[in-house]
Amino acid sequence: MTDKRLVAFDLDGVLVKGTGSWSEIHKVLGTDKISAGHGVDFQNGKISFDEWAKKDTELWKGVELEKIKKILYKTRLMKGAGDTINALKSLNYDTIIISGGLQILADRIRDELGMDYAIANRLLFNNNQVCGIEQRVDFEGKGRILEKIINEKRIDKKDTVAVGDYINDIPLFKAAGFSVAFNPKDDRLLKYADAIILDEDLTKILPLLENSR
């Protein structure tokens, strides 16, 4: 194993403010009510997570890439995000985004903050218009992605940290050596968290990481 360390962040509600990549687009395009119905179907077991994503994406077919970017690029960073990533880099941490949100926003935040990787779900375009979705991070997939990364980079599990806010971060928490529930949206996440932060300031995770060593 190397002496490298790693922190895996969820995106929506953790690195950035707001309700999420998907919901921000739905709100602007007026497709939020139909999408809410898809969410209920998923929660009731009528459709899979992948089917939910495909149904939502179908609502956006034909929308121009630039319009999607314009919506997502209005998303604001969480307070302290820049200072947190800079501090982690100085402590020899790799920093990555693993998100069930959209790659367009994940790439923007990765580049803006100078993070190492960003893995999210990729909208597909034909003639610069939405035509589908490449599901790279399903509802249970975050843990598998983190495990693959730490194995490839030969990082010890005890040197990995996960920061998330929703139940699809549970597999991420299980794969990491230390987990932080950041303003959790669902109490089911708390069972798997080593620490909880109820403050919209991402720098609050830094003392916790020192204590986790």
- Is residue 41 flagged as an active site residue? no
- Secondary structure, 3-state, the chain: CCCCEEEEECCECCCECCCCHHHHHHHHHCCHHHHHHHHHHHHCCCCCHHHHHHHHHHCCCCCEHHHHHHHHCCCCECCCHHHHHHHHHHCCEEEEEEEEEEHHHHHHHHHHHCCCEEEEEEEEEECCEEEEEECCCCCCCHHHHHHHHHHHCCCCHHHEEEEECCHHHHHHHHHCCEEEEECCCCHHHHHHCCEEECCCCHHHHHHHHHHHC
- Is residue 10 flagged as an active site residue? yes
Give the distance, in angstroms, between the CA of residue 184 and the centroid of all CA atoms in the same chain. Answer: 13
Residues identified as active-site: 10, 12
